[in-house]
Structure 1
Amino acid sequence: MASSQPHVTVLLALYDGCEHLEEQLRSYLDQSLRPARVLASDDRPHDGTGAVFQNFGTQVTATLCWDLIEGPQQGLTRNFLHLLATVNPAETDYVALSDQDDIWLPEKLQSAVHHIAAQGDRPVLLGTRSWEWSPSTGQKVLSRHIPPPLNFAHALVQNYAGGNTMVLNRSALKLVQAALPGMPQPALHDWWLYQLISGAGGVVLLDPEPRLLYRQHSDNQVGANATLHSKLRRFGYMLTGTYRKWMDQNISALQSHANLLTPDNKALLDRLAQERSASLCTRLNMLADTGLHRKGRSNQAALWIAAALRRM
């Protein structure tokens, strides 16, 4: 970019978000490194959320670009993929994904750019921890920490950070756009980003510091990760077959552009796709041989149980 200051584009997914949207938008303006552009995709264009976004934008359009497009109206994952497909990599250095009802802490973008820039021109994905926050009680719980290494053998079976914390550099955005045409929809956009970028040999980073307030309410998709209730719910996903369905979707998405993966990671994907439905011994040997793993003892034990029950 021509400017000496990094050009950051915020990608904001909107859906029925009037109530808390202005707090999120104000937190963009309070960044120590302000974004240069906010691009929002409204997935429910007649509920008034887009109008709130546009009205707020009239106050700031002299200092940054403020754009609204119509969403595909096919759910959150498809809306974020739509945003990622729309932005022009030649016009931005970084893209930062955003939900509509969080509050970014002031150093979020500055810290992300600092960490990502140190990696050079390779595709880089950065996620952070967050404060899982209940406005009604004021309670804050720090989201789970996923220790390194963050690699494809981990990404295939577990996500590492919420999409609302993620920032990508231009090289990663180009990689994502190369994978999108004709791709079946993955289970979750953030999990797929982790899989694609790690699988293609990119760098995946986790900032251990919380960089946003993640509002907890009944409409949050998937929700907080830190509580015992949430851990039990996720184990339930494995037992009921939901986790296997997610794996089906993710494998199909990755296989559609497997040429983007490194040879070793493509071989790992192929083996997982072939052997996760094979005999019990073959499934367990695959886990032992390949290094597929989830972080944490209970999560890793759940993975072995899922493999044994053909739920992986």
Structure 2
Amino acid sequence: MSPNFLVLLAAYNGMKWISDQVHSILNQNGVSVTLIISIDSSNDGTEEWALALSERNPKVLVLETGKKFGGAAPNFFRLINEASLKEFDYFSFADQDDIWLPNKLIEAVETISSAGAQGYSSNVTAFWPDGKEKLIVKSQPQVQFDHLFEAAGPGCTYVFSKELFRDLQQHISNQFSEVQNVTLHDWYCYAFSRTHGYKWVIDSRSHMLYRQHSNNQVGVNTGLKAFKARLSQVFNGWWLNQAALISRLVGVENTPFVQRWISLRRVALIRLAFSGYKCRRRVRDKIVFSVLCVILAVLRHKK
């Protein structure tokens, strides 16, 4: 029997792309797919299009429309909270503007099975309107605490076993108001999975085209402009404050490692700098992580 998937798609003003994406999801090889869509209140016809599709296709479900979320994370948290569990074997996230290759989901199932894992993500192939393509590598070896400081790759590659998704859903339901303060749902779901003893595998292959355009909420972090934006998130406190919030919400606030840095005071930041090698996966990111922690500590000392 084919694995039964529930794909959770968050949409907002997506009429330019959503038809191609939904087609690529519903036409996956080797699996049975039901698609559930949550739409952040839109003004370009996305809601009407999705509702019309759901009337024609019983495999497409649309949650109550007219709600305003203001970002992808609260939209996905809503999808997780309201998803049905009963008839599904696996659960997957989807963005509105990508294109999935035909074997994306069945390859994820096979990788999960061979690795003995419960969570899955993969590399992606970014593509731009001018035809440029670039493999985005997120499959560097996982380290002890990377989940507290970064996602496992783009959330649109995530696949969860039923056991893991049930646990994640219950956790989010129990603190639904608190998780609304989390900016990146994919980082949070990866952190929850790893801190709760679930094995996660990151596939080195790409099974989807990751569309890049001016309306991406979170896109490929390449180039000087993206680097400056990431630096801004570090120096305005967003990044480490999110790491601290996520650590608290997933229940590891009182572990020895987190206690060493969660105050984010000067000495705590110096301690964290010496742990950079076990906080990020990519070698360059390990170095940058440690350097930025030292800089933040110096700046805090001067205040």
TM-score by length of 1: 0.84
Q: How far did 1:31 drift?
A: 1.4
Contact in 2 for aligned 1:84/1:177 (Cα 8 Å): yes
| Closer/same/farther in 2, CA of residues 210 and 290 from structure 1, 3 Å limit | closer
Among 130, 140, 159, the residue aligned to 1:137: 130
Separation (CA, whole Å) in 2 of partners of 1:14 and 1:147: 30
1:17–1:100 Cα contact (<8 Å) kept: yes
2 CA distance for matches of 1:91 and 1:163? 23
Q: Within 5 Å, give how 1:58-69 maps onto structure 2.
A: 58-61=55-58, 65-69=59-63
Q: Which residue is equivalent to 1:304?
A: 290
2:149 alignment partner, SS class:
coil
How far apart, in 1, do the equivalents of 2:162 and 2:261 lie? 30
- Is 2:64 the partner of 1:70? yes
User: Is the 2:151–2:187 contact (alpha carbons within 8 Å) kept by the matching residues of 1?
Assistant: yes
- Asked if residue 93 in structure 1 is aligned to residue 89 in structure 2, the reply is yes
User: How many pairs are equivalent?
Assistant: 292
- Quote the Cα distance in structure 2 between the aligned partners of 1:230 and 1:33: 38
Structure 2 match to 1:174: 166
Q: Distance in 2 between matches of 1:144 and 1:225?
A: 11
Which residue among 109, 112, 125 is the counterpart of 2:108? Answer: 112
| Offset of residue 51 of structure 1 | 1.9
* Structure 1 residue 69 displacement after superposition: 0.3
Check conservation: 1:8, 1:94, Cα contact below 8 A.
yes
CA distance in 1, matches of 2:6, 2:57: 15
Partners of 1:92 and 1:238 lie apart in 2 by: 39
Q: CA deviation at 1:67?
A: 0.5
1:44 to 41, 44, 55: 41
TM-score with structure 2 length normalisation? 0.86
Kept in 2, the 8 Å contact 1:22–1:56? The answer is no
1:24 paired to 2:24:
no
| Residue of structure 2 in register with 1:148 after alignment | 141
Aligned match for 1:269, one of 258, 281, 288: 258
Distance of aligned partners of 1:89 and 1:267 in 2 relative to their CA distance in 1, 3 Å threshold:
farther
Number of the residue aligned with 1:125: 119
Looking at structure 2, the residues matched to 296 and 290 of structure 1 have their Cα atoms a distance apart, in angstroms, of 11
Superposed CA offset, 1:131-185 (max 9, x none): 1111x2111111133311254x111122230111111111111121221122522
Secondary structure of 2:16's aligned partner: helix
- RMSD value, Cα: 2.6
Counterpart amino acid of residue 147 in structure 1: Q
Are 2:277 and 2:287, in contact at CA under 8 Å, matched by a contact in 1?
Answer: no
Q: Contact 1:10 / 1:35 at 8 angstroms: preserved in 2?
A: no
Distance of 2:19 and 2:224 partners within structure 1: 32
Distance in 2, Cα, partners of 1:165 & 1:207: 10
Offset at residue 5 of structure 1 (A): 1.5
